[in-house]
Amino acid sequence: MKFTSSIKLYRKLRYRKGFGVHSPFTYNLITKVIEEKTPYYVFDEIEQFRKGLLLRKETQHKNYGALLFRIIHFFKCRNILQIRAYTGILSLYLSLASRKNSTCYALEENSDWLNAVKVFAERHRLENLHWMEGDYAENLRKLKSFIPTFDLIFINRLGNAKETTEAVELSQSFIGEKSILVIDGIYKNKAMKTLWEKVKNFPETSVTIDLFALGIVFFDKKLHKQHYKNYFDYGKKQNLYEKRRQRVYLFGWRRKDIQNESAT
């Protein structure tokens, strides 16, 4: 336990706030997206819903919701794909980041997992969020008939190397020059580490950001091929709105501005 804590402390001190990064693109990504702490009111609603699922033990331990939300918001992603929705918590973050200007397709083989989140989505009228249940390969073939590429692809296979590898292979035909690929659990085991190295070395890959818990991949040919590391404590960066609510209420203009941004 102490050894694990020491590793986390080292990563936090060594890889944070864009230390040693000279690329303007990557530095802006780290400081304005990954390290950003701006709260959005929708985070609180989703996390309250998550707590209800936790009581029934029907949710994931990890949550990258706020980070995914900020990536979509920052890069103005329009077409979004999630391979494995699980309980749908992260699907809510993906769809709410730009609900009027984006479309999110959340794939899940086990439809029973989605029962609770479907009620939440209907109540909040998330018309841009589309659940696709059943075999992933079959659903991706359906999507390919009318969506050539996705702006953001989130592979949420929880560090299962075999299933993640299959998901990467299935999603490759949807990757374009402006696509962003996010892979969960890149350090989960030896096989996942090997897969992450393979993805980094794809000919199409330009910039990668290694957040230890997950990896972010860019394919823009205008960017020089480079690999970066940055510490991201997903455990402390999620319930931002709830923790900073008093400050937001104190500055009423800030809360209004945040609501306007997340509604676009």
Are the C-beta atoms of 190 and 162 separated by less than 8 Å?
Answer: no
Distance CA 31, CA 20 (A): 13
pLDDT at 130 over 80: yes
What burial class does residue 10 get, using C-beta atoms within 10 Å of its C-beta: 0-12 exposed, 13-18 middle, 19+ buried? exposed
186-201 pLDDT tens trace: 999 999 999 999 999 9
Q: Residue 65 in contact with residue 89, Cβ under 8 Å?
A: yes
Which has the higher per-residue pLDDT, 258 or 80?
80
Q: Is the pLDDT of residue 176 over 70?
A: yes
Asked whether residue 28 carries a pLDDT value surpassing 80, the answer given is yes
91 CA to centre of own chain: 9
Q: Average the pLDDT over 214-219 and give the result.
A: 97
Mean of pLDDT over the chain:
83
Work out the pLDDT band at 110, boundaries 50, 70, 90.
Answer: very high
pTM for this entry: 0.83
What is the spatial distance between Cα 203 and Cα 190, in angstroms, rounded to a whole number? Answer: 23
* Each residue's pLDDT tens digit, 49-62: 888 887 776 666 56
Domain-wise residue ranges, the chain: 24-262
Whether 16 shows a pLDDT value over 80: the answer reads no
Tokens linked to 124: 């909040």
CATH tag, 24-262: 3.40.50.150
d(CA 102, CA 129): 9
CA distance 205 to 183: 14
User: Are 64 and 90 contacting, i.e. CB atoms less than 8 angstroms apart?
Assistant: yes
Q: Is the pLDDT confidence value at 42 over 70?
A: yes
